A = this chain, B = another copy of it.
């Protein structure tokens, strides 16, 4: 029995200011976070695994149009909608991941099914879709994901000849009652990205990592930068090989190689003792956590201090 069990989630990190998000919008995000948090927490409370908890939390956000994952995914430059996702089990260090996959309602469940049912870690594109159909996972037509608002976002990004982070990525880390860590990340990619672009989310060691001995990490932010910097694995390496605390290691991984690697790196991380760290460089990170029977914390803005350190 591990009394430090709990879950922490993020729904992306952005540089929006308080003027750009209405009170009603903020309340909707907070409700979406709370729902996802509780979906994952319930699994843990019932004695379920960290893997199932992070999946449940991420599924909840994938089914909520507010977040850029599943239903809320962004449009690529050709109007296609593609998903990246990964899950990692800190106990077995098994992992499942998908990149550039269309039509799947819950990308994180496809990643978990690959981890549990195949000999592979990562499947991409139509091969992953075929695998999803074989395991009878729910598929959706483009219409399920499409909105007029997304098309406007794409048009604006095209005008500016840029790719836009949009609403980023969702993710979760958890420590279950048996002391097992897990991490999960899911994204709909960047507005106006090239078709087939794979970001950091499904890359084990970059956007997603879990290892019972050390920590679990799920990132959001500039995917290309996070991949080049191997951010999730750097949090782990700083803890394991330099002996840093989760907080110190998170700070180090966030700022490493900034001279060479641009873009913001944001993540939620949890260590084997149940400490939680939300590290982000942006103005806001949609985030929430709940440790055991303690109350939930839900936060949006930087000035809302949320983390969990065990009493010394």
- Interface segment among A31-39, A93-101, A175-183: the answer is A93-101
In this complex, what residue of B is CB-closest to A77?
B127
Known: A93-B261, A233-B205, A241-B237. A196 touches B227 (CB 8 A): no
Q: Does A139 belong to the interface (CB within 8 Å)? A: no
Query: What does DSSP make chain A's interface, helix, strand, loop or mixed?
Result: mixed
B206 touches A124 (CB 8 A): no
Q: How many Å lie between the Cα of A92 and that of B229 in the bound state?
A: 11
Stretch at the interface among A41-49, A67-75, A114-122, A285-293: A114-122
Pairwise interchain contact B233-A118, C-beta atoms closer than 8 A = no
A163 within 8 A of partner (CB): yes
- B residues near A198, Cβ cutoff 8 Å: 97, 99, 121-124
Which residues in window 110-150 of A have CB below 8 A to B?
118-128, 130-131
How far apart are the CA atoms of A122 and B126 in the complex, in Å?
17
204-244 of chain A: CB within 8 A of chain B: 204-206, 209, 223-224, 227-230, 233, 237-238, 240-242
Q: Does A169 contact B (CB under 8 A)?
A: no
- Chain A residues 75 to 97 lying within 8 A of chain B, measured CB to CB, are 88, 92-95, 97
Which of B93, B121, B223 touches A257 (beta carbons < 8 Å)? Answer: B93
Q: How far is the CA of A125 from the CA of B127 in the complex (A)?
A: 9
A260 touches B124 (CB 8 A): no
CA distance A237 to B230 in the complex (A): 11
Name the B residues within 8 Å of A204 (CB-CB). Answer: 203, 206, 227-228, 230
Contact A260 B130 (CB under 8 A): no
Contacts of A195 in B (CB 8 A): 126-127, 130
A240–B257 Cα distance when bound, in Å, is 13
CB-based contact A194/B118 at 8 Å:
yes
A109 at the interface (CB under 8 A from B): no
* Interface pair A233/B227, CB less than 8 Å apart: no
Distance, CA A281 to CA B147, complexed state (A)? 52
Q: Which 6 A-B pairs have the closest CB atoms?
A: A127-B196, A125-B125, A241-B241, A127-B195, A237-B237, A205-B230
7 A-B pairs with CB atoms under 8 Å apart are A92-B260, A93-B228, A124-B196, A127-B197, A203-B203, A205-B227, A230-B230
A123-B194, A123-B198, A125-B126 given. 19 additional CB < 8 A pairs? A93-B229, A99-B198, A120-B194, A120-B224, A121-B198, A121-B224, A122-B197, A123-B196, A125-B196, A126-B196, A204-B227, A205-B206, A205-B230, A205-B233, A230-B230, A230-B233, A233-B237, A237-B237, A237-B240
